[in-house]
Chain A
């Protein structure tokens, strides 16, 4: 589960200032908005990545293009 997904799965009343959960949500969403404005129409997709997608993404670093 991504950091954002795990934050959403927590009771918001358990968030703390030190934990920075609220700040993380806002900053991550802002980052994704920037990506959307650059043309990535999927930037704001917050659905969990499937196991198959994770496996595909994990080989990205191994590709020598």
Chain B
């Protein structure tokens, strides 16, 4: 994306704007973002200013959210579990593999045998050095992560869910996708697992929460951008009549992990409406990008426990950058095309 060509009287350039070179973020072109995933769509829908701060300027909290880290490890473990089972592992074989992998993924900062040198492979790590991941949270810890993985597998061991295999016999697990849609826009994302349940295909997703999982929890996923994207993409990519998403939700508490399985369905009309809404949203954001001005949605500041940028946006524009620098770090922007 080119640098904004100065300011206009109608839309003064935000004092915070930092151009994102197209060579850095593959999902942007001269007109703005053209590759969209559920994360960037959700940001754009929540508040254009939040979209600007995160997607255009790359501001992120200094410490990555424990919910994202914990949830990421948990989802990866269960994706791999379903893949191992689909490829013939027994429950215990698959469980040992994923528990070991999760333990390794949450071990940090092993020392290296020697100093790394540019252009050469990284030196080997010294086993027995380093330390376990400290989440900084009293509930979502490394130990409760392992506990939750094991208890989930045992709870759903006899589940009627079966991973769908593709035409080459490979399990439909961990599939990143890109999908060309109208107006030269591309939808992208990552589908955890495609499964068959009661003779119907679904996308499966894993969620974690500290709260009790109830029917009200699952109602919150309708309407929902991510679940609609999964259903839409699942139909287009897998060429299956995907009915919706199976959501396996885990409540993480100090003394236990408890699970509920819910479903969120999407009809054709709902998906058509969602698609229309997303294309209008994208067009709106691209116009804001072109104008280099992203207004705040002041009704969104208190949603979901409060926007992470509330402490910034509540300040006078002249001093916002200081508050950004104090509480956030500016790094690579979220790229929907990056494989995760």
Chain A residues within CB distance 8 Å of chain B: 8-9, 11-15, 22-23, 25-26, 29-30, 32-33, 36, 40-47
Known: A8-B142, A25-B146, A32-B147. A44 touches B257 (CB 8 A): yes
Can you name 28 A-B residue pairings with CB atoms under 8 Å? Answer: A8-B146, A9-B132, A11-B110, A11-B130, A12-B104, A12-B107, A13-B107, A14-B127, A15-B100, A22-B96, A23-B96, A25-B103, A25-B150, A26-B92, A29-B146, A29-B151, A30-B154, A33-B151, A33-B154, A41-B255, A42-B254, A44-B144, A44-B147, A44-B255, A44-B257, A45-B254, A45-B255, A47-B254
Question: How distant is B154 from chain A, measured CB to nearest CB, in Å?
Answer: 6
B128 within 8 Å of A by Cβ?
Answer: yes
* Residues on the B chain within 8 Å of A33, using CB: 150-151, 154
* Residues on the A chain within 8 Å of B130, using CB: 11
* Residues on the A chain within 8 Å of B255, using CB: 36, 40-45
Q: Is the CB of B150 within 8 A of A11?
A: no
Closest 3 CB pairs of A and B: A42-B255, A12-B103, A46-B143
Q: Is the CB of B256 within 8 A of A36?
A: yes
Q: Is the CB of A46 within 8 A of B150?
A: no
B129 within 8 Å of A by Cβ?
Answer: yes
Q: Size of chain B's interface in residues, with CB distance under 8 A?
A: 29
Q: Is the CB of B104 within 8 A of A13?
A: yes
- Tally inter-chain residue pairs, CB-CB below 8 A: 72
Dominant secondary structure of chain A at its interface with chain B? helix
Question: How distant is A50 from chain B, measured CB to nearest CB, in Å?
Answer: 14
Question: How distant is A28 from chain B, measured CB to nearest CB, in Å?
Answer: 9
Known: A25-B99, A26-B99, A36-B256. A46 touches B104 (CB 8 A): no
B172 within 8 Å of A by Cβ?
Answer: no
* Residues on the B chain within 8 Å of A22, using CB: 96, 99-100
